[in-house]
A and B are shown apart, each in its own frame.
Chain A
Amino acid sequence: MSPSPLMALFSREIRVARRLGSGSTMGIIFFLILVTIVPFAIGPDLILLSRIGPAILWIAALLATLLGLDRLFQADHEDGSLDLMLTSDTPLELIVLVKCLAHWVVTGLPLVIAAPLFGLMLALDPQALWAVTLSLLAGTPALALLGAIGAALTVTLRRGGLLMAILILPLAIPVLIFGVSAASASLSATTPFWPPFLILCALTLATLAAAPFAVAAALRHMSE
Protein backbone atom coordinates (compact mmCIF):
# COMPACT_ATOMS: atom_id res chain seq x y z
CA MET A 1 0.00 0.00 0.00
CA SER A 2 1.60 3.23 -1.11
CA PRO A 3 1.85 5.93 1.53
CA SER A 4 -0.14 9.09 1.14
CA PRO A 5 1.75 11.93 -0.57
CA LEU A 6 2.11 13.85 2.68
CA MET A 7 3.55 10.87 4.55
CA ALA A 8 5.93 10.31 1.66
CA LEU A 9 6.95 13.98 1.78
CA PHE A 10 7.56 13.79 5.52
CA SER A 11 9.77 10.72 5.25
CA ARG A 12 11.57 12.28 2.29
CA GLU A 13 12.33 15.37 4.33
CA ILE A 14 13.64 13.30 7.23
CA ARG A 15 15.71 11.13 4.91
CA VAL A 16 17.21 14.10 3.08
CA ALA A 17 17.96 15.81 6.37
CA ARG A 18 19.71 12.75 7.68
CA ARG A 19 21.74 12.09 4.54
CA LEU A 20 22.66 15.56 3.41
CA GLY A 21 23.06 17.10 6.82
CA SER A 22 20.23 19.12 8.21
CA GLY A 23 22.10 21.66 10.20
CA SER A 24 20.60 20.22 13.37
CA THR A 25 24.04 19.47 14.80
CA MET A 26 25.26 22.89 13.80
CA GLY A 27 22.13 24.38 15.30
CA ILE A 28 22.87 22.75 18.65
CA ILE A 29 26.50 23.85 18.46
CA PHE A 30 25.41 27.41 17.68
CA PHE A 31 23.00 27.24 20.62
CA LEU A 32 25.87 26.10 22.82
CA ILE A 33 28.17 28.85 21.60
CA LEU A 34 25.59 31.55 22.27
CA VAL A 35 25.00 30.22 25.76
CA THR A 36 28.78 30.17 26.26
CA ILE A 37 29.52 33.72 25.19
CA VAL A 38 26.83 35.29 27.34
CA PRO A 39 28.66 34.71 30.64
CA PHE A 40 31.78 36.16 29.02
CA ALA A 41 29.84 39.31 28.32
CA ILE A 42 27.88 39.48 31.56
CA GLY A 43 30.32 38.01 34.03
CA PRO A 44 30.15 34.74 35.96
CA ASP A 45 27.70 35.97 38.59
CA LEU A 46 25.57 32.84 38.95
CA ILE A 47 22.63 34.59 40.57
CA LEU A 48 22.38 37.07 37.71
CA LEU A 49 22.80 34.29 35.16
CA SER A 50 20.04 32.22 36.72
CA ARG A 51 17.74 35.24 36.60
CA ILE A 52 18.29 35.93 32.92
CA GLY A 53 19.03 32.32 31.94
CA PRO A 54 15.56 31.61 30.52
CA ALA A 55 15.79 34.73 28.37
CA ILE A 56 19.24 33.78 27.12
CA LEU A 57 18.05 30.29 26.20
CA TRP A 58 15.05 31.70 24.36
CA ILE A 59 17.06 34.25 22.40
CA ALA A 60 19.62 31.59 21.53
CA ALA A 61 16.86 29.21 20.37
CA LEU A 62 15.33 31.98 18.25
CA LEU A 63 18.64 32.81 16.59
CA ALA A 64 19.50 29.15 16.04
CA THR A 65 16.10 28.67 14.39
CA LEU A 66 16.75 31.63 12.11
CA LEU A 67 20.03 30.12 11.00
CA GLY A 68 18.53 26.83 9.91
CA LEU A 69 15.64 28.31 7.98
CA ASP A 70 17.31 28.88 4.64
CA ARG A 71 17.45 25.14 4.19
CA LEU A 72 13.70 24.95 4.25
CA PHE A 73 12.87 25.98 0.69
CA GLN A 74 16.10 26.95 -1.04
CA ALA A 75 17.28 23.47 -1.95
CA ASP A 76 13.87 22.56 -3.37
CA HIS A 77 13.76 25.81 -5.31
CA GLU A 78 17.16 25.16 -6.83
CA ASP A 79 16.60 21.61 -7.95
CA GLY A 80 13.04 22.08 -9.14
CA SER A 81 11.18 20.14 -6.45
CA LEU A 82 9.43 23.35 -5.45
CA ASP A 83 7.84 23.58 -8.91
CA LEU A 84 6.56 20.02 -8.49
CA MET A 85 5.09 20.93 -5.13
CA LEU A 86 3.49 24.05 -6.59
CA THR A 87 1.77 22.12 -9.36
CA SER A 88 0.82 19.00 -7.43
CA ASP A 89 -2.71 17.91 -6.54
CA THR A 90 -1.97 17.97 -2.83
CA PRO A 91 -2.80 21.41 -1.41
CA LEU A 92 0.32 23.52 -1.09
CA GLU A 93 -0.71 24.59 2.42
CA LEU A 94 -0.57 20.96 3.61
CA ILE A 95 2.76 20.44 1.87
CA VAL A 96 4.08 23.52 3.66
CA LEU A 97 2.77 22.24 6.98
CA VAL A 98 4.49 18.88 6.52
CA LYS A 99 7.76 20.52 5.51
CA CYS A 100 7.64 22.81 8.52
CA LEU A 101 6.84 19.89 10.81
CA ALA A 102 9.78 17.89 9.45
CA HIS A 103 12.00 20.95 9.77
CA TRP A 104 10.94 21.41 13.38
CA VAL A 105 11.55 17.75 14.21
CA VAL A 106 15.02 17.98 12.74
CA THR A 107 16.14 21.43 13.96
CA GLY A 108 13.74 22.65 16.66
CA LEU A 109 13.31 19.50 18.71
CA PRO A 110 17.08 19.06 19.27
CA LEU A 111 17.15 22.60 20.67
CA VAL A 112 14.37 21.69 23.09
CA ILE A 113 16.23 18.56 24.19
CA ALA A 114 19.50 20.45 24.59
CA ALA A 115 17.93 23.34 26.51
CA PRO A 116 17.89 21.74 29.97
CA LEU A 117 21.55 20.73 29.60
CA PHE A 118 22.56 24.28 28.70
CA GLY A 119 20.28 25.58 31.41
CA LEU A 120 22.43 23.76 33.93
CA MET A 121 25.37 25.80 32.68
CA LEU A 122 23.39 28.93 33.44
CA ALA A 123 22.64 27.77 37.00
CA LEU A 124 18.91 27.30 36.51
CA ASP A 125 17.17 25.35 39.25
CA PRO A 126 15.17 22.21 38.28
CA GLN A 127 11.84 23.99 38.25
CA ALA A 128 13.22 26.63 35.91
CA LEU A 129 14.67 23.93 33.69
CA TRP A 130 11.23 22.35 33.37
CA ALA A 131 9.65 25.72 32.64
CA VAL A 132 12.22 26.58 29.97
CA THR A 133 11.97 23.20 28.28
CA LEU A 134 8.17 23.20 28.21
CA SER A 135 8.01 26.76 26.94
CA LEU A 136 10.52 25.98 24.20
CA LEU A 137 8.59 22.84 23.31
CA ALA A 138 5.44 24.91 22.89
CA GLY A 139 7.11 27.87 21.22
CA THR A 140 9.65 26.49 18.74
CA PRO A 141 6.96 25.20 16.32
CA ALA A 142 5.61 28.74 16.13
CA LEU A 143 9.11 30.04 15.45
CA ALA A 144 9.57 27.46 12.69
CA LEU A 145 6.26 28.40 11.05
CA LEU A 146 6.86 32.14 11.28
CA GLY A 147 10.34 31.56 9.94
CA ALA A 148 8.84 29.69 7.02
CA ILE A 149 7.00 32.89 6.06
CA GLY A 150 10.28 34.73 5.86
CA ALA A 151 11.98 31.82 4.09
CA ALA A 152 9.22 31.72 1.48
CA LEU A 153 9.38 35.47 0.87
CA THR A 154 13.15 35.29 0.28
CA VAL A 155 13.25 31.95 -1.49
CA THR A 156 14.67 33.31 -4.74
CA LEU A 157 17.39 35.39 -3.14
CA ARG A 158 20.94 34.07 -3.12
CA ARG A 159 21.97 35.61 0.17
CA GLY A 160 18.63 36.44 1.67
CA GLY A 161 19.53 35.35 5.18
CA LEU A 162 19.79 38.78 6.75
CA LEU A 163 16.65 40.06 5.05
CA MET A 164 14.83 36.94 6.20
CA ALA A 165 15.86 37.64 9.78
CA ILE A 166 14.62 41.25 9.50
CA LEU A 167 11.29 40.05 8.21
CA ILE A 168 10.81 37.30 10.77
CA LEU A 169 11.94 38.89 14.02
CA PRO A 170 9.07 41.38 14.44
CA LEU A 171 6.61 38.55 13.94
CA ALA A 172 8.42 36.38 16.48
CA ILE A 173 8.35 39.01 19.22
CA PRO A 174 5.01 37.94 20.78
CA VAL A 175 6.19 34.32 20.92
CA LEU A 176 9.40 35.49 22.56
CA ILE A 177 7.55 37.64 25.09
CA PHE A 178 5.25 34.87 26.29
CA GLY A 179 7.92 32.19 26.01
CA VAL A 180 10.31 34.06 28.30
CA SER A 181 7.43 34.96 30.60
CA ALA A 182 6.51 31.29 30.98
CA ALA A 183 10.15 30.21 31.27
CA SER A 184 10.93 32.78 33.97
CA ALA A 185 7.89 31.80 35.95
CA SER A 186 9.37 29.65 38.62
CA LEU A 187 11.99 32.11 39.68
CA SER A 188 9.57 33.86 41.98
CA ALA A 189 6.20 32.94 43.37
CA THR A 190 4.65 36.11 41.98
CA THR A 191 5.18 35.14 38.33
CA PRO A 192 2.85 32.30 37.36
CA PHE A 193 3.61 29.70 34.75
CA TRP A 194 0.25 28.68 33.32
CA PRO A 195 -1.19 31.96 31.98
CA PRO A 196 1.76 32.85 29.76
CA PHE A 197 2.30 29.21 28.85
CA LEU A 198 -1.31 28.80 27.72
CA ILE A 199 -1.10 32.03 25.72
CA LEU A 200 2.09 30.68 24.14
CA CYS A 201 0.24 27.49 23.20
CA ALA A 202 -2.54 29.64 21.75
CA LEU A 203 -0.01 31.58 19.68
CA THR A 204 1.46 28.35 18.36
CA LEU A 205 -1.95 26.99 17.46
CA ALA A 206 -2.95 30.23 15.76
CA THR A 207 0.31 30.24 13.82
CA LEU A 208 -0.27 26.60 12.90
CA ALA A 209 -3.64 27.58 11.47
CA ALA A 210 -2.70 30.80 9.68
CA ALA A 211 0.96 30.59 8.65
CA PRO A 212 0.63 27.80 6.03
CA PHE A 213 -1.66 30.06 4.01
CA ALA A 214 0.80 32.94 4.11
CA VAL A 215 3.72 30.64 3.30
CA ALA A 216 1.87 29.00 0.40
CA ALA A 217 0.84 32.40 -1.01
CA ALA A 218 4.42 33.64 -0.71
CA LEU A 219 5.80 30.53 -2.45
CA ARG A 220 3.31 30.86 -5.27
CA HIS A 221 3.99 34.54 -5.86
CA MET A 222 7.71 34.69 -5.21
CA SER A 223 8.92 31.73 -7.22
CA GLU A 224 7.25 32.57 -10.52
Chain B
Amino acid sequence: MWKYANPTFFLPLVAKLLPWLTGATVIAFAIGIWGAFFSAPADYQQGETVRIMYIHVPAAWLSMFCYATMTASALGTLVWRHPLADAAQKAAAPIGAAFTFICLVTGSLWGKPMWGTWWVWDARLTSVLVLFVIYLGLIALWQTIEDPGRAARGAAILTLVGVVNLPIIKFSVDWGSI
Protein backbone atom coordinates (compact mmCIF):
# COMPACT_ATOMS: atom_id res chain seq x y z
CA MET B 1 0.00 0.00 0.00
CA TRP B 2 2.89 2.31 0.67
CA LYS B 3 3.68 2.50 -3.04
CA TYR B 4 0.74 4.89 -3.35
CA ALA B 5 2.69 7.49 -1.38
CA ASN B 6 4.56 7.95 -4.64
CA PRO B 7 2.67 10.26 -6.98
CA THR B 8 3.69 8.17 -10.00
CA PHE B 9 1.46 5.36 -8.75
CA PHE B 10 -1.11 7.51 -6.98
CA LEU B 11 -2.11 9.80 -9.85
CA PRO B 12 -3.28 7.05 -12.27
CA LEU B 13 -5.30 5.57 -9.39
CA VAL B 14 -6.88 8.97 -8.80
CA ALA B 15 -7.67 9.34 -12.51
CA LYS B 16 -9.52 6.03 -12.42
CA LEU B 17 -11.42 6.63 -9.18
CA LEU B 18 -12.24 10.32 -9.43
CA PRO B 19 -15.26 10.10 -11.82
CA TRP B 20 -16.90 7.51 -9.57
CA LEU B 21 -16.19 9.53 -6.43
CA THR B 22 -17.51 12.70 -8.09
CA GLY B 23 -20.71 10.91 -9.01
CA ALA B 24 -21.08 9.54 -5.50
CA THR B 25 -20.55 13.06 -4.09
CA VAL B 26 -23.22 14.54 -6.34
CA ILE B 27 -25.70 11.84 -5.36
CA ALA B 28 -24.90 12.25 -1.65
CA PHE B 29 -25.29 16.04 -1.94
CA ALA B 30 -28.62 15.66 -3.71
CA ILE B 31 -29.95 13.28 -1.07
CA GLY B 32 -28.60 15.51 1.71
CA ILE B 33 -30.06 18.73 0.33
CA TRP B 34 -33.43 17.10 -0.27
CA GLY B 35 -33.33 15.65 3.24
CA ALA B 36 -32.25 18.86 4.95
CA PHE B 37 -34.44 21.35 3.16
CA PHE B 38 -37.49 19.34 2.19
CA SER B 39 -37.83 16.04 3.94
CA ALA B 40 -36.83 16.74 7.54
CA PRO B 41 -39.61 18.27 9.60
CA ALA B 42 -39.38 21.73 11.11
CA ASP B 43 -38.45 21.66 14.77
CA TYR B 44 -41.38 22.11 17.16
CA GLN B 45 -39.57 24.88 19.04
CA GLN B 46 -37.14 26.36 16.49
CA GLY B 47 -39.26 26.24 13.38
CA GLU B 48 -37.56 26.30 10.02
CA THR B 49 -34.32 27.88 11.30
CA VAL B 50 -33.18 24.49 12.55
CA ARG B 51 -32.27 23.70 8.94
CA ILE B 52 -29.18 25.91 9.33
CA MET B 53 -27.85 23.17 11.61
CA TYR B 54 -27.56 20.85 8.60
CA ILE B 55 -24.89 23.19 7.25
CA HIS B 56 -23.48 24.50 10.52
CA VAL B 57 -22.65 21.17 12.15
CA PRO B 58 -20.91 19.53 9.16
CA ALA B 59 -18.94 22.73 8.63
CA ALA B 60 -17.78 22.52 12.25
CA TRP B 61 -16.80 18.87 11.85
CA LEU B 62 -14.91 19.63 8.66
CA SER B 63 -13.09 22.60 10.14
CA MET B 64 -11.72 20.40 12.93
CA PHE B 65 -11.16 17.43 10.62
CA CYS B 66 -9.23 19.66 8.23
CA TYR B 67 -7.00 20.78 11.08
CA ALA B 68 -6.46 17.15 12.09
CA THR B 69 -5.49 16.36 8.50
CA MET B 70 -3.06 19.27 8.54
CA THR B 71 -1.59 17.93 11.79
CA ALA B 72 -0.99 14.53 10.17
CA SER B 73 0.55 16.26 7.14
CA ALA B 74 2.70 18.35 9.47
CA LEU B 75 4.09 15.16 10.96
CA GLY B 76 4.71 13.91 7.43
CA THR B 77 6.66 17.08 6.67
CA LEU B 78 8.76 17.13 9.81
CA VAL B 79 9.34 13.43 10.38
CA TRP B 80 9.47 11.97 6.87
CA ARG B 81 10.17 15.11 4.81
CA HIS B 82 7.52 13.94 2.34
CA PRO B 83 6.98 16.65 -0.30
CA LEU B 84 3.34 15.69 -0.76
CA ALA B 85 2.81 16.41 2.92
CA ASP B 86 3.95 19.99 2.26
CA ALA B 87 1.44 20.32 -0.57
CA ALA B 88 -1.31 18.75 1.54
CA GLN B 89 -0.71 21.26 4.33
CA LYS B 90 -0.69 24.22 1.98
CA ALA B 91 -3.87 23.11 0.23
CA ALA B 92 -5.74 22.24 3.42
CA ALA B 93 -5.26 25.57 5.19
CA PRO B 94 -7.64 27.70 3.05
CA ILE B 95 -10.19 24.88 2.95
CA GLY B 96 -10.19 24.56 6.72
CA ALA B 97 -10.36 28.34 7.12
CA ALA B 98 -13.34 28.47 4.75
CA PHE B 99 -15.23 25.79 6.67
CA THR B 100 -14.48 27.50 9.99
CA PHE B 101 -15.77 30.75 8.54
CA ILE B 102 -18.94 29.02 7.31
CA CYS B 103 -19.36 27.45 10.74
CA LEU B 104 -19.05 30.81 12.51
CA VAL B 105 -21.32 32.68 10.09
CA THR B 106 -24.07 30.05 9.97
CA GLY B 107 -23.84 29.81 13.75
CA SER B 108 -24.41 33.56 14.03
CA LEU B 109 -27.33 33.37 11.62
CA TRP B 110 -28.83 30.58 13.71
CA GLY B 111 -28.11 32.35 16.96
CA LYS B 112 -29.86 35.61 16.12
CA PRO B 113 -33.40 34.23 15.97
CA MET B 114 -32.65 31.54 18.56
CA TRP B 115 -30.59 33.26 21.27
CA GLY B 116 -31.42 36.81 20.32
CA THR B 117 -27.80 37.74 19.69
CA TRP B 118 -25.30 37.37 16.87
CA TRP B 119 -22.44 36.38 19.18
CA VAL B 120 -21.68 35.32 22.73
CA TRP B 121 -18.29 34.87 24.29
CA ASP B 122 -18.75 31.40 25.63
CA ALA B 123 -15.94 28.84 25.53
CA ARG B 124 -17.03 27.03 22.38
CA LEU B 125 -17.52 30.05 20.13
CA THR B 126 -14.34 31.63 21.44
CA SER B 127 -12.22 28.53 20.83
CA VAL B 128 -13.62 28.12 17.30
CA LEU B 129 -12.80 31.77 16.68
CA VAL B 130 -9.28 31.08 17.94
CA LEU B 131 -9.12 28.14 15.51
CA PHE B 132 -10.08 30.53 12.71
CA VAL B 133 -7.32 32.96 13.71
CA ILE B 134 -4.79 30.09 13.81
CA TYR B 135 -5.86 29.10 10.27
CA LEU B 136 -5.38 32.70 9.11
CA GLY B 137 -1.96 32.81 10.76
CA LEU B 138 -0.97 29.65 8.93
CA ILE B 139 -2.11 31.09 5.60
CA ALA B 140 -0.19 34.29 6.37
CA LEU B 141 2.93 32.26 7.16
CA TRP B 142 2.63 30.39 3.86
CA GLN B 143 2.32 33.62 1.95
CA THR B 144 5.13 35.43 3.74
CA ILE B 145 7.99 32.95 3.54
CA GLU B 146 9.25 32.60 -0.02
CA ASP B 147 10.98 29.23 0.05
CA PRO B 148 8.14 26.66 -0.02
CA GLY B 149 10.15 24.00 1.79
CA ARG B 150 10.96 26.29 4.69
CA ALA B 151 7.40 27.64 4.74
CA ALA B 152 6.14 24.06 4.98
CA ARG B 153 8.34 23.29 7.96
CA GLY B 154 7.38 26.52 9.73
CA ALA B 155 3.70 25.89 9.06
CA ALA B 156 4.14 22.33 10.33
CA ILE B 157 5.58 23.52 13.63
CA LEU B 158 2.85 26.11 14.05
CA THR B 159 0.18 23.51 13.22
CA LEU B 160 1.54 21.14 15.85
CA VAL B 161 1.67 23.91 18.46
CA GLY B 162 -1.91 24.91 17.65
CA VAL B 163 -3.34 21.40 17.78
CA VAL B 164 -3.87 21.89 21.50
CA ASN B 165 -6.91 23.96 20.48
CA LEU B 166 -8.76 20.93 19.13
CA PRO B 167 -9.34 19.18 22.48
CA ILE B 168 -10.17 22.62 23.93
CA ILE B 169 -12.95 23.00 21.34
CA LYS B 170 -14.14 19.47 22.05
CA PHE B 171 -14.34 19.96 25.82
CA SER B 172 -15.36 23.60 25.74
CA VAL B 173 -18.97 22.54 25.39
CA ASP B 174 -18.80 21.23 28.95
CA TRP B 175 -16.77 24.07 30.40
CA GLY B 176 -19.23 26.86 29.75
CA SER B 177 -18.07 30.42 29.56
CA ILE B 178 -14.57 31.83 29.37
Which A residues are within 8 Å of any B CB, using their own CB?
149, 153-154, 156-157, 160, 163, 166-167, 169-171, 173, 177, 214, 217-218, 221-222, 224
Contacts and interface: CB of A to CB of B under 8 A. Distances in A.
Interface residues of B, number: 21
B68 interface: no
A167 B165 CA distance: 14
B154 A170 contact: no
B57 interface: no
A174 to B, nearest CB: 8
A166 B153 CA distance: 18
Nearest to A155: B154
Interface string B129-147: 0100110110011001100
Given A169-B133, A218-B154, A163 B141 contact: yes
B133 A153 contact: no
B15 interface: no
Contacts, number: 54
Contacts of A218: 154, 157
Contacts of A149: 157-158, 161
B1 interface: no
B140 A163 contact: yes
B157 A167 contact: no
A222 B150 contact: yes
Contacts of B133: 166, 169-170
A215 to B, nearest CB: 9
A153 B158 CA distance: 8
B160 interface: yes
A149 B160 CA distance: 12
A173 B172 CA distance: 14
A177 B150 CA distance: 33
A169 B178 CA distance: 16
Contacts of B111: none
B157 A214 contact: yes
Among B130, B157, B165, the one with the most A-chain Cβ atoms within 10 Å of its Cβ is B157
Contacts of B157: 149, 153, 214, 217-218, 221
A149 to B, nearest CB: 6
Contacts of A177: 178
Contact of B161 (A160, A169, A171): A171
Contacts of A163: 137, 140-141, 144
11 contacts: A149-B158, A154-B144, A166-B140, A167-B158, A170-B130, A170-B133, A173-B130, A217-B157, A218-B157, A222-B145, A222-B150
